[in-house]
Amino acid sequence: MPAPKVPVSRSDAHSWLITGPLLLLGALLSLPILLSDGDTSRPGDNQVGYALILLVLATLATPMALRFDIRRQALVTRMDDIPVILALFYLSPWLAVGVRVIAGLIWNILGARLTPHKLAFNAASHFAGIATANLIVFEFGLGSGGSPGTWLVLAAAVFAGNVVALSAIAGVMVLLQGVGQLPYFLRSSLAGFAVIGVNIVLGLVMLLTLQASKWGSLLLIALAIVLGVLYRSYAQFFRQHRSLTEMYALTRDIAATNHDGTLPDVLLARVRALLAADSATLWLPEYGRHHEVLLSARFDYPGLLDSATTPDLFRQLAMRTGNTVVAGPKSGPPELQSALQEARVKDVIVVPLRSSGVAIGTLEVAGRLGDKVVFGKDDVQLLETLSVQAGAAVENSRLVDRLQFDANHDALTGLANRRRMLEALGEAMTGRGPREVVAVLLFDVIALREVNDSLGHDAGDQVLIQVARRLRDLAPQGALVARVGGDEFAVELRTASADAAVAVADTLRAGLRDRMVIDTLTVDVDTNVGVSIYPDHGTEPEALLQRAIVATYVAKSRGIVQMFNAGLQSRSVRRVGLAADLEAALNTGELEVYFQPKVALQDRRLVGVECLARWEHPVHGQVAPPDFVSVAEHTGQLSRLNGVVLREGIRRAREWADAGRSLTVAVNISVRTLNDADFPLQVAELLDEHGVPADRIILELSEEELLRSGRGIPALRRLRDLGVQLSVDDFGAGRSSFADLSRLPVQEVKIDRTFVQGMATGASDLAIVRTVVDMARHFGLAVVAEGVESELTLGLLEDMHCDMGQGFLFSRALPYERFESWLQVQADADPTVVPAGEVRWLRAVP
């Protein structure tokens, strides 16, 4: 992209390249008159007297001007065309040249105090212009003052002289500033030509009046005074009209750009042009999440600069006092004037920007264009008026920015939200490289609900904030971190392959596992992580994110970073369809309770059963327990599911007791069930309803959930006081210790099946099981080994003096009728060979 074209800026000394040719042009145009033998005299007996009067009139008319600022230069249209018309009619060519040039020099030296370069240029311009007018009058001649031909010649002469002068100004402007400013100059000249036409008409009216009567000069003097006042009023009106037009344009542009980030560009460009300043600056100090803003528009640069010519002292003073600060060559306190001199700035206006009465920044202009022109009171009032609109626009822009930020970010963590994540996914899909994949890593914070229940929602919020901070710090550069659900965070990134995405997910998950300190408490946090990639797993952002969520659900049961695959999707879709069917199954009794025996290992005696829910779906067939338990958990039906199993278990316990078999009944429940304060009462009512002793019921809770229960501990104690036994299921799979369990009212631990199944072939698993059995005996806890599937394993457990065993070696979980058959087979054993009640696992029902 080409760099912006910076306007040409040369010093005024180069104006001699135009001044010299102008002087030569004036001399050449005067040469025909000088060499002529004809009469060049004008009517009037006293040429010198006329010359002095017209010199005074021309000098007085010169200050009455309309000014058009064009960058550093100015186009000025004056009333001196009126005395020029009279001079061309009454004076000889040489006196007319003298009056025109001398009147201009008097004003330029005494009034405008121009530099030598500009003084010489103006003198040459006046000389060339009056020489052009003299030549036209000389060539076409003049009749009486009342002749239309005379009017036409004088009008053409004055018009031609102004064309030469304007051409000279255009030449200087192109030379010093470049051709880019020429179109603006030509547009501004149109108003000047209109004023020249008015001046010509007024000059001719004065000429006719003087021709009619010498006493008409008195009327002309009065008319000149009135015209001077009108001219000044018109000039003021013209400036006010221009200011109002610019202000309207500024207001319109601010409204149009307030939402697209171009507000500073439009605001500063308009302000700089409106006040004819060398620079205009917007300064906004750092505020909240908004960084400091310092932008300047300069006359010699087409864009915005991140620096300012205004000394810092001015804006700090304006912010501290809340008042406008103005300083110039002859105004302002000495320290401000000194600061201007050090910064080499001619003059400065700094106005505070306000919002709700509070200063939020400053709007500044510095360096009034023009060597002898400075900022005045009108400029101060104008900038103060503009600051009101600018302050409102800045505040509105910040409000819009805040609304846009809030619409795309999470209020608690400050991360991008789901909407922004989907947008970023779409952008990444479009802009990915040919060898890149776009990955979505979804992190589901484990047991956040338990943190909320046990420590309060403030603690849960702090966990989410720390998780967000860690993800943001650990994520690769260029990745987007978002909170897409209550306890779900997503990371979007472009990477080389699916394996690389999984590696990043592993790294992030490991970083999140570090313990978090919430107030004075230490909290262990873990996450389930699912990964999906584009284009393999979806071509739409919503689909890609949804499939990462599906992978996360599967990761919960596997404890690994799970990559999405098509098989997971079919399972997830199936689960969604099962939600409504599960409710119907709970209402109609479709769910069946199976029973798996628990055997005392020392005497092979049946001591209890574990109740397990099974669901035969009319369409899908046998539904795996993890599937429908997950559905129940996410649809709020888990308590009903636990209740169905518990009721059936207590009912069967009563029947077995009536048949002379005192068996314990174990039922798995969720910690969420314990959050229901009425649950212990419901258990007590079921026990009373069926007349079952409380110690016949064992409620099993997973190790991970039990240690995070928090608010569930009072319910556990009420159940213990009731006489219900409590068991820790899958012990060893988590990170708890017996010291942790000592704080809980439990009587039993069940060793996780993975260690039991591996103890016959793995020394480490054997050591873990042996340690658990020994430690449990030390703490007075009963031990149940799950997953007993071989005679070797059984022998090892017996040698360790493990209390109970459960597994396929004895029997798999069976429906009630088949379990009764299994019991009958065991009870019918020959008492002379096998003691009564001993479980002969070789005769177990398959």
pLDDT per residue over 409-427, tens digit each? 888 888 888 888 898 898 8
- How many angstroms separate the CA atoms of 728 and 704, rounded? 9
pLDDT lower than 50: segments of the chain? 1-8, 66-75, 830-846
Short-list 262, 501, 277, 304, CA closest to 367: 277
pLDDT at 354: 83
Residue carrying the six token digits 């177990």:
844
For 322: left if phi > 0, alpha if psi spans -120 to 50, otherwise beta; the answer is left
pLDDT at 265: 78
Cβ count within 10 A of residue 76: 14
pLDDT at 394: 73
Secondary structure element (H or E) that encloses residue 37, with its range: none
pLDDT at 249: 63
pLDDT at 360: 82
Q: Which two tokens stand for residue 248?
A: 């309207």
pLDDT at 91: 83
Longest dimension (CA), the chain: 168
Backbone angles phi, psi at 51, to 5 degrees: -60, -40
Short-list 88, 118, 26, CA closest to 370: 118
- How many angstroms separate the CA atoms of 523 and 470, rounded? 15
Backbone angles phi, psi at 563, to 5 degrees: -85, 140
pLDDT at 184: 62
Q: 300: Cβ–Cβ under 8 A, 6 or more apart, which residues?
A: 6, 7, 9
- How many angstroms separate the CA atoms of 134 and 154, rounded? 9
pLDDT at 179: 67
- 482 pairs with which residues across the strands? 416, 490
pLDDT at 844: 39
pLDDT at 72: 43
Return the half-sphere exposure (C-beta side, CA atoms, 13 A cut-off) of residue 219. Answer: 12
Return the half-sphere exposure (C-beta side, CA atoms, 13 A cut-off) of residue 321. Answer: 12
- How many angstroms separate the CA atoms of 562 and 554, rounded? 7
